[in-house]
Amino acid sequence: MSPVRNSFREVADPERARRFQELAVTLRLSGLHRTDIFSLGVVLYELTTAQKPFKGANFAEVVDNIVHSQPAAMARLNYDVPPELERITLKCLQKLPDRRYQTARELMVDLRNLARELELGPSTSRLPKFSRSEALTSYAEDRVGTAAEP
């Protein structure tokens, strides 16, 4: 943690601390936490295509393209991109936060289902997909090394 952040916690008066907490709640409720999901979409796009989803000659052009343009189809830039990965990435890159994944957990479920399908082959598309609870149990097993308690 930065020294500035520590200093704020140690010397902030109650009124300022209360306003800071209210601001944090407002930001959380406004959906700004989903900007991380958008940023992850940018990273996924770059990793799979080796190109930025939004280009421009300068900062202003890049920002304008983020707001007004759609990224090029990933399959045009990398023929090996699975359609489901493109769907997941483009959902992360939606302009409206309500159209993006609402939580990282939802994104994790789709990525785990994609990984399962890629690992087991195309015939698995007929198998049932992971539910959230199954994905979370699997995630817990990966993290702890043992099965999570139901």
Q: Are residues 43 and 74 in the same domain?
A: yes
Query: Is the same domain home to 89 and 115?
Result: no
Amino acid at 129: K
Question: Using an 8 Å Cβ cutoff, are 93 and 42 in contact?
Answer: yes
CA atoms of 139 and 72, how far apart (whole Å):
32
Give the angle subtended at the CA of 38 by the CAs of 76 and 101, to the nearest 5°.
100
Amino acid type, 31: G
- Same domain? For 81 and 107 the reply is no
Do 17 and 37 fall into the same domain? no
- Maximum separation of any 2 CA atoms in the chain, in Å: 61
- Regarding whether 91 and 39 lie in a shared domain, the answer is yes
User: Which domain-ending residue is among 95, 116, 139?
Assistant: 95
Same-domain pairing of 13 and 50: no
Q: Is the same domain home to 24 and 58?
A: no
Amino acid making up residue 6: N
Pick the most confident of 6-10, 61-65, 122-126, 142-146: 61-65
Tens digits of residue pLDDT in 56-84: 999 889 989 999 999 999 999 999 999 99
What is the pLDDT, as a whole number, of residue 128?
A: 54
As a whole number of angstroms, the distance between CA 5 and CA 16 comes to 14
Looking at the 3D structure of the chain, how many domains does it have? 3
Tell me the per-residue pLDDT of 14-55, one tens digit each, with 9 for 90 and over.
666 677 667 666 655 555 566 789 999 999 999 999 999 999
Q: What is the pLDDT of residues 33-44, one digit of tens each?
A: 667 899 999 999
In this structure, are 107 and 82 located in the same domain?
Answer: no
Do 23 and 41 sit in the same domain of this protein?
no
**Do residue 85 and residue 42 come from a single domain?**
yes
Structural domain range at position 107: 103-150
Does one domain contain both 77 and 107? no
Q: Is the sign of the CA dihedral 109, 111, 113, 116 positive or negative?
A: negative
Q: Quick one: 38 and 91 in the same domain?
A: yes
Q: How many residues does this entry show for the chain?
A: 150
What local confidence, expressed as pLDDT, does residue 136 receive?
52
